[in-house]
Structure 1
Amino acid sequence: MLLCDIGNTSYHFLSQSESFKKDVKSFDASEVKHKVYYISVNKDVDISLKNLANWVDISTHLDKAKYYETMGVDRMMALEAIEGGIILDAGSAITVDVKRDGVFEGGFIYPGLKTMSESYKNISSALAYEFNFDIDLRGLPKNSQDAITYGYLKTLYCEVMSHKMEIILTGGDANLFAKIFKEARVDEHLVFKGMKRVISDL
């Protein structure tokens, strides 16, 4: 079974247990001859795939009424993979979603690392630091790098921890956030697990 999660910059494939990515701008989906079950948040790619019979959009089989109208299908699919917990997807944006006893309770969107880092640089070149994921959030910082890091991470950390649920980290920066959320588990295939669950019900 070939699965594909299509974002704004890449096609993310899973074949058996092996995952790989292709660039949205250069990849020609028509070269794939196998059946591909996919989800997509990229409207331009959606248009090109409609003419390819072997590409099957499984989002049409998802009960979207459980979520909200403008919610990204990748977030929905990640939630389909769990019965309960809080999912932090650390990608170009950070999304945080809560599911309890099989019911989606809601979530929020937070700026991703790159966006937030650039916003500090736009304020002043003196704030052009990388975030320090080895920071101790229990005490107030006494240097600029940690002050920026604390301001960015502490609010997110406190909100996520306040739900007192299992935390699942996914997305490209998941391993960085694992340094902050030390009790969390990282699951890079969470969206794919949700896709498999939906496909099993077809």
Structure 2
Amino acid sequence: MLLCDIGNTSYHFLDGSREYKQDVKTFDPSSIKEKVYFICVNNTLHVRLKSLSNWIDLSEYIDKEKYYKTMGIDRIFAVESVSNGIIIDAGSAVTVDVVKNDEFMGGFIYPGIKAMQKTYENISPALAYSFNFECDLDIMPKNSQDAISYGYLKTLYCEVMSHQLPIILTGGNALEFKKIFPDAKIDTALIFHAMKKIIKENEDRLC
């Protein structure tokens, strides 16, 4: 079974247990002749893939009424993979989604690490620090690096912890956020788990 999670910069494939990526600018999806189950956040590529009969869009098999209209399909699939928990997808943006008893309760979007660091730097070159994910969030900072780190991390930390749910981390910066959520589970394959679940639930329709 070949699965593919398509973003704005890459095709992320799972072939059995092997993961690999292809650049959206250079990869030709028509070069694959076997059946591919996919989701896609890239609108231009999505239109192109519709013309390839062996590329099966799994977003058509989701009950989108459970989610708000503009919610990204990648977030929806991450939520579909969890019964109870709070999902933190730490990428270029940080998305946080709450799931209780298989029901999506809502979520929010937070600036990613690079975006927020750039914001501080734009305010003043004196604030051009990297974030210290090991700063003590129980003590008010007394240096500039920890001051901006605290401002960024404490708000997110308090909101996430207030839900008292298991925390699942995914995305490129999951390891950094693990430092402030030490009990969290890292699972970078959440979307692939959901894709397998949707395929299993729709076996008759997908045959």
TM-score by length of 2: 0.95
Q: Which amino acid aligns with 1:175?
A: L
Q: Which amino acid aligns with 1:172?
A: G
Instruction: Establish whether residue 154 from structure 1 lines up as the match of residue 150 from structure 2.
Output: no
Instruction: Establish whether residue 88 from structure 1 lines up as the match of residue 88 from structure 2.
Output: yes
Equivalence for 2:172: 172
Equivalence for 1:142: 142
**Deviation sequence 1:142-194 (CA, Å, 0-9, x none):** 11111111111110000000000000001111111011101100001011101
Shift in Å at residue 31 of structure 1?
1.5
How many residue pairs match? The answer is 202
What SS does the aligned partner of 1:135 have? coil
* Aligned counterparts, 1:81-120, within 5 A: 81-120=81-120
Gaps in structure 2 of 5+ consecutive residues? 203-207
* Aligned equivalents of 2:179, 2:66: Cα separation in 1: 32
* Aligned equivalents of 2:146, 2:23: Cα separation in 1: 34
**Deviation sequence 1:119-153 (CA, Å, 0-9, x none):** 11111111111111121111111111111111111
Instruction: Establish whether residue 132 from structure 1 lines up as the match of residue 142 from structure 2.
Output: no
* Aligned equivalents of 1:120, 1:24: Cα separation in 2: 31
Equivalence for 2:73: 73
Aligned-pair Cα RMSD in Å: 0.9
- Percentage of matched positions with identical amino acids: 61
Q: Which moved more, 1:20-29 or 1:88-97?
A: 20-29
Shift in Å at residue 67 of structure 1?
1.0
TM-score by length of 1: 0.97
* Aligned equivalents of 1:79, 1:157: Cα separation in 2: 20
Q: Which amino acid aligns with 1:126?
A: A
Shift in Å at residue 2 of structure 1?
0.9
Instruction: Establish whether residue 11 from structure 1 lines up as the match of residue 3 from structure 2.
Output: no
Equivalence for 1:195: 195
**Deviation sequence 1:65-91 (CA, Å, 0-9, x none):** 111111011111111111111000111
Instruction: Establish whether residue 42 from structure 1 lines up as the match of residue 39 from structure 2.
Output: no
Q: Stretches of 4+ moved more than 2 A in 1?
A: none
Gaps in structure 1 of 5+ consecutive residues? none
Equivalence for 1:185: 185
* Aligned equivalents of 2:30, 2:103: Cα separation in 1: 38
